[in-house]
Amino acid sequence: MAGKKGFLLCVCQGTCPSFEKMNFFEILNTLKAEKLVNFVPIHLQLCADDGDEFLKILLSNSRIEKLYVAGCDPSMQRKMFRDAFEEANFGREKHFAFDIGNMDTKQALEAIKKLIKENP
């Protein structure tokens, strides 16, 4: 069975000023409509304990071939998700991170689509 690709949007609880110019649902609806990935969940705070649990459960599914994560700085994401990836046995090379802080909806969508298309 073919591997699945997911896009995960992390929104810093929806309260961070760097995300205030973005319509999260418009981003997810556009990605869903364009079928660039197989699933498009949103998470409030991946770097919190429940985010860790979410990543462990999600990525324990060996059918997930790639995970694109838009949120904060890629190096921060790599550090914060490291333990969950290890526990789920999810290779770090399958994680594609992108910082969408301070972008508006259009900018974020363009950046996300570019990242996905460049790493199909």
Answer for the pair 53, 81: CB distance below 8 angstroms, yes or no: no
Assess 80 for contact with ligand SF4 (CB under 6 A): yes
Alpha helices, DSSP H, located in 1-120: 24-34, 49-59, 74-88, 105-118
Question: What backbone phi and psi angles, to 5 degrees, belong to 98?
Answer: -145, 140
Query: Of these, 12, 28, 42, 111, which contacts ligand SF4 (CB under 6 A)?
Result: 12
Closer CB to ligand SF4, 62 or 86, in the complex = 86
Assess 42 for contact with ligand SF4 (CB under 6 A): no
Min separation Cβ 82 and ligand SF4, Å: 12
Answer for the pair 70, 98: CB distance below 8 angstroms, yes or no: yes
Closer CB to ligand SF4, 46 or 64, in the complex = 46
- Between CA 97 and CA 95 the distance in angstroms is 6
Closer CB to ligand SF4, 5 or 71, in the complex = 71
- By rule CB under 6 A, what count of residues binds ligand SF4? 8
- Between CA 95 and CA 1 the distance in angstroms is 20
E-strand spans in 54-115?
A: 64-71, 95-99
Min separation Cβ 115 and ligand SF4, Å: 15
Query: Of these, 5, 6, 10, 96, which contacts ligand SF4 (CB under 6 A)?
Result: 10
Binding stretches for ligand SF4 (CB under 6 A): 10, 12, 45-47, 71-72, 80
